Amino acid sequence: MKTMHLAVAGASGQLGTLVVNELIRQRAIHPGMALTAITRTPGHHAAWQEQDIDVRFGDYDQPQGLAAAFHGVERLLLISTNAIDGTGRRLEQHRHAIAAARLAGVDHIVYTSFLQPEEGKRSLLNDDHLATEALLQESSIGHTILRNAFYQDLLLVVLGTAAMDGQLRTAMGQGHVSCVAREDCAHAAAAALAADYRGNRILDITGPAALDARALAAIAAQVFGKSIEVVALDADSRARHFIAAGMPAPMATMLAGIERWLATDAMHLVSDDFTRSTGRQASPVQAFLQAHRRQLLAPTLPPA
């Protein structure tokens, strides 16, 4: 059996770590893949090396070394960076990685993009992703684009105070969001990377349902065992609420802006691409909240 050489770039991040561990699990069941983890901190991953993972240094901000990091790789997972600052740095990082992959002879790139809204509802969140997708189209490298919805982790912030005071304050209006489990995004990325697919395709990776604020409140009420009231705020009031809860002002402004953007219903999309590509069912919001119930209710729960 021919060995297929897979690599995960950005392996030290939360998503990258989940993907590497999932590929290790798959390799134990279906041998025939060589795995490389590319990270800015290779010294932190002795455990992977002990499992016959080739751990290499790679930094999107140091393009001169990226082609060497990608040497011999057939299929590369390019995890988008978190440089969301409006300076163009993230797009430049992705440009470096795609150019290095082409130079190294990578056959296929799997890229973690973002769920795309309707035309005319663009934002800082997805502009870099759209531009990166265009770079992939121009590169002539075969690619799979995974357009991931918002992680369910966002609900820890959105519902944090609701668990305590019974009020879901939000600026998302009547908008909907199909939050997806980070673990599901990792399963989708691992499946796409290990697949023998050589063309170009786009997969929308979403949760199983698009929920508005009232639906989120109803699910939270069931999990928390208390009534949750939706309190509609404008974006400025929502930002002030975040700040009053101890959040730094820049992050508060960004999150309030996200909710205002959701109010346009830009994220009202549910896809079965996850199930078709992985054979799994996407995990619902209720399961995520149940798993984090104690964390969310910590201030009101008695000591264990």
Determine the average pLDDT of the residues in 207-222: 96
Rounded (10°) angle between helices 124-139 and 249-262: 80
Q: Element (H or E) spanning 46, and its range?
A: helix 46-50
Determine the average pLDDT of the residues in 178-198: 95
Binned at pLDDT 50, 70 and 90, residue 301 comes out as very low
Q: Which of 1-15, 80-94, 257-271 bottoms out in mean pLDDT, i.e. has the lowest? A: 80-94
Determine the average pLDDT of the residues in 261-271: 90
Binned at pLDDT 50, 70 and 90, residue 108 comes out as very high
Mean predicted lDDT score pLDDT of the chain = 91
* Residue bearing the bigger pLDDT, 49 or 295: 49
What order do you get walking across the sheet with 142-148 strand by strand?
A: 54-57, 33-39, 4-9, 75-78, 108-114, 142-148, 200-205
pLDDT score of 67 more than 80: yes
